Structure 1
Amino acid sequence: MSIFSNIQEAFNNELPFVTYKKPTTSLLKGWFQQNSNLITADSFNESGFIFAPFDNREKAILIPKNQSTYIEEEVTVGYAQTNTTNHAPDTASEKNHIQLVEKGISAIKNKQFKKVVLSRREKMELPDCNFIETFQKLLSNYPTAFVYVWFHPKVGLWLGATPETLVSIQDTNFTTMALAGTQVYNGTTNVIWQPKELEEQQFVTDYIVDRLSNISSNITSSGIETIKAGKLLHLRTLLKGQLKTNTASLIKSLHPTPAVCGMPLEAAKQFILDNENYHRSFYTGFLGELNLNDKESNLFVNLRCMEVSKNTVYIYVGGGITLDSNAAKEWQETVAKTTTMKKVL
């Protein structure tokens, strides 16, 4: 039985599962929980697959290694035919998001914070949505991303293709990244970035290094590079170091990152909770392998994701706001991001 048949069977039987492919590999991995218990990761010392929300005061869900069946399968996926129908967002969404961004820029001018990441959720009605086909299209179209489908009958069904690593840990060595800036891919990665985007990237890099300084040593930083994620480009800086404490302290130091929240962290987070007017849930949280195979963890930030509820799909997108942001352009950036996700529906 193929791994896709296992996905369908677990879904039909209302049993939790996750199936995923790491960046630039062809190995599809699946954890299929043998019961429908809702299990949380309270200490980050557990072992299994973790699915954590944006708000770190809320519980992270665990598909535990010791209660699950593991399956892996090499997949050969060619470029999938994608949907060309344009589902345009409504004008009310545009107005609301522009107002939200303008409010964020005003808060920055008033010295409340230097950066805030503001997001929105777009609703689509799709009476014939087949989540396995959508997952297969994500696998085909995002070979360099972490691609997943995750389900728990007591929580919901999520899919995504994220370009951002939260952290990879092997014993005491770790790698993380600073990711910021977005522009549409037009056939080349040799592009010019504006001062606003370069400044935002430096904000994120400096902040992460500062957060890591007390719990790690030998931190090294790569240069800034342009990476491609689907039809978009981003700026990325890789950071490596050696952990002085434990996995839990590293995760708590990194999540949420400035790339999904802002900085200073608490002020930006409170602005988001007070002003976005919707619940992010697992969008901009993190997910991945936790403490497998002798202290090995591979965690990713949950970007470019969607939640599927019967015949309704919710697409989550956002962008970093700084002093030089333009509200109308920020709206267009979210439209570009939703467009990339809509093509697989």
Structure 2
Amino acid sequence: MTQDSFFETLERQYQNQLPFVVYSRAINSIIKCWLQKDDMLHTTLDFIESGFVFAPFDLNDKSILLPETECEHLTLEISNLDLDEDFKTTTIENYGKEQHVQLVTKGIDTIRKGELSKVVLSRKVEKDIENTNPLIIFKRLFNTYKNAMVYCWYHPKVGLWLGATPELLFKVEGKQLTTISLAGTKPYSEKDEVSWTNKEYEEQQIVTDYITKQIEPHTSDIKISEVETVRAGNLLHLKTYIRSRIKVESSLKSVIEALHPTPAVCGFPKEASKQFILKNENYRREYYTGFLGELNLKTSKTRNTNRRNVENNAYAVVRRHSNFYVNLRCMQLKDEKAVIYVGGGITKDSVPQNEWEETVNKTKTIVNVLS
């Protein structure tokens, strides 16, 4: 399929106000799109269906499903998308500094009282945009963020979301569970060698320990990798892989409930920090810091790659896989405005002014695709 026909089909779907998702996983030259045949709103409670799921920060709200059987599927293999435009960076007015500093100060006070050890506090920034065509913005995201999962998701009854998220919530292949602990943020610089402080390593360790503890009841054979530095756009993060096997008696839903929302987007302990966010953030996150991705899709692997064993190759193992990404670095398009969501992790040593600056840096990361 050519790039032109792929995007023309998507454009028609959008003009007809029918649900779709177009996405590409990190370091991948494959773009997939799912086109739902009608505008029915499907949801999932137990995550036992097969499809593409778009889940909110608070699982008490609806998790939207594009069911696999109700969608047409297209694939485009390409490493860069053509865009007829001069790409100029844009600026954004960061309003709301006073409110955000107050919110962070309240978070720090709550942590110092011993009620929380970390809380992630966010805000939204609105920007008027001239070109509201989401597919052009998706193309820019795809060309700009090679090591992120980039997506554009639309449902006429829910809204239109786009993002470039570096963070895997987890993936499952058969019974094999892989999750990532990601924390710490620094601006990337070609000139300077990166050096992380104890605060950042500590933040990272809190996340790793927490994930391990959360999955213990549901999995076995837990293995933890070394900490590494990864780059996402113009930011750097610390990252660790945690691999394990899901127990026979555990369900995908139990793993989701154990891991979502993560300390990287919510805080620690989970329930207390989540309640603090719902009570104090002064806006509804909706699908920001929720998760999205492929749910229970079938893959088949041949059992034997030995050429002489040709007859055994007929017996393929059919496994189900799921890949969920945390909905970070995202925006919602609404009435010719882009609503951009940004946040940061607050600990007892946080400085409110610095936390404000961090959210300003993060708006720059996403706003560059809105020229």
TM-score, normalisation: structure 2: 0.90
**CA positional deviation for 1:4:** 1.4
Aligned partner (choices 359, 365, 368) of residue 334 of structure 1: 359
Equivalent residue for 1:85?
A: 90
The residue correspondences of 1:93-242 to structure 2 (distance < 5 A) are: 93-187=96-190, 190-242=193-245
Equivalent residue for 1:270?
A: 275
**CA positional deviation for 1:132:** 1.3
Residues 71-109 of structure 1 deviation map (CA, whole Å, 9 limit, x = unaligned): 10112316976432222312xx11111111011000000
**CA positional deviation for 1:246:** 2.2
Residue identity opposite 2:139 in structure 1: Q
**Mapped pair 1:19 → 2:22:** yes
**CA positional deviation for 1:197:** 1.3
Aligned partner (choices 326, 343, 348) of residue 301 of structure 1: 326
The percentage of aligned residue pairs carrying the same residue is 47
**CA positional deviation for 1:125:** 1.1
Equivalent residue for 1:343?
A: 368
Check conservation: 1:83, 1:342, Cα contact below 8 A. no
The residue correspondences of 1:312-331 to structure 2 (distance < 5 A) are: 312-331=337-356
Equivalent residue for 2:314?
A: none
Change (3 A) 1:79 1:187: farther
Residue identity opposite 2:40 in structure 1: N
Equivalent residue for 1:54?
A: 57
Residue identity opposite 2:265 in structure 1: V
Per the alignment, in what secondary structure is the counterpart of residue 166 of structure 1? Answer: strand
Equivalent residue for 2:311?
A: none
Per the alignment, in what secondary structure is the counterpart of residue 343 of structure 1? Answer: helix
**CA positional deviation for 1:188:** 6.3
Equivalent residue for 2:45?
A: 42
Shifted more, 135-144 versus 181-190: the winner is: 181-190
- What residue ranges of structure 2 are gaps of 5+ in the alignment? 299-318
Residues 197-216 of structure 1 deviation map (CA, whole Å, 9 limit, x = unaligned): 11111111110000011110
Residue identity opposite 1:58 in structure 2: D
Check conservation: 2:81, 2:139, Cα contact below 8 A. no
Instruction: Name the CA distance, whole Å, in 1 between partners of 2:366 and 2:101.
Output: 21
Equivalent residue for 2:293?
A: 288
Residues 113-154 of structure 1 deviation map (CA, whole Å, 9 limit, x = unaligned): 100000000011113322111110100110110000000000
Instruction: Name the CA distance, whole Å, in 2 between partners of 1:132 and 1:83.
Output: 18
- What residue ranges of structure 1 are gaps of 5+ in the alignment? none
Change (3 A) 1:4 1:62: same
What root-mean-square deviation, in Å, do the aligned CA atoms of Structure 1 and Structure 2 show? 1.4
Per the alignment, in what secondary structure is the counterpart of residue 87 of structure 1? Answer: coil
Check conservation: 2:296, 2:320, Cα contact below 8 A. yes
**CA positional deviation for 1:162:** 0.2
Instruction: Name the CA distance, whole Å, in 1 between partners of 2:100 and 2:234.
Output: 22
**CA positional deviation for 1:41:** 1.0
Instruction: Name the CA distance, whole Å, in 2 between partners of 1:47 and 1:78.
Output: 29
Residues 157-215 of structure 1 deviation map (CA, whole Å, 9 limit, x = unaligned): 00000000001100000100011111111126841112221111111111000001111
Instruction: Name the CA distance, whole Å, in 2 between partners of 1:197 and 1:63.
Output: 38
Instruction: Name the CA distance, whole Å, in 1 between partners of 2:63 and 2:75.
Output: 24
Equivalent residue for 2:305?
A: none
Instruction: Name the CA distance, whole Å, in 2 between partners of 1:160 and 1:250.
Output: 24
Per the alignment, in what secondary structure is the counterpart of residue 295 of structure 1? Answer: strand
Residue identity opposite 2:293 in structure 1: G
**Mapped pair 1:6 → 2:31:** no
TM-score, normalisation: structure 1: 0.97
Shifted more, 142-151 versus 194-203: the winner is: 194-203
Larger Rg: 2
Instruction: Name the CA distance, whole Å, in 1 between partners of 2:88 and 2:197.
Output: 32
| Residue correspondences, number | 343
Equivalent residue for 1:254?
A: 259
Check conservation: 2:294, 2:324, Cα contact below 8 A. yes
